[in-house]
Amino acid sequence: MQVKLEDKSGVSVVFVKGDIDINTSPDIKKFFDELIKDRKEKVVINLGDVSYVDSSGLATFVEILKKLRSYGGKLKLTNLSSKVRGLFEITKLTKLFDIFDEETAAIGSFQSGS
């Protein structure tokens, strides 16, 4: 699994590549702990190169979202495969997360205030 950070128009865009499971979730948590320590307020996670997420991965996303919200940060998810999106739908996490089909729409949503 690989994680890469880019700044796009003042938004921290995190690209994740590989499966997110019980073995890789701690690495993702560690990566996001740094972003949270820096109090990044606008974060997009691009999951275009993720084909599998297990329950520990979902729990990690929920934990990241809670930590960001604790200081007013916002998190958007984008480019979910149909399999990963289906998992978010089945678990009703689509009600908790802002999910976008395209990265540009996710970034633009910060400017439009949604």
Instruction: Give the model confidence (pLDDT) of 96-112 as tens digits.
Output: 999 999 999 999 999 86
Token pair 């689509």: residue: 94
Say what the pLDDT of residue 3 is: 96
User: CA 85 to CA 73: how far, in whole Å?
Assistant: 23
Say what the pLDDT of residue 111 is: 82
User: CA 82 to CA 104: how far, in whole Å?
Assistant: 19
Distances (CA, A) of 27 to 8, 17, 54, 90: 23, 12, 14, 25
For residue 101, the enclosing domain spans: 2-112
Structural domain count of the chain = 1
User: CA 35 to CA 38: how far, in whole Å?
Assistant: 5
Say what the pLDDT of residue 113 is: 58
Which CATH number characterizes residue 20's domain? 3.30.750.24
Say what the pLDDT of residue 48 is: 97
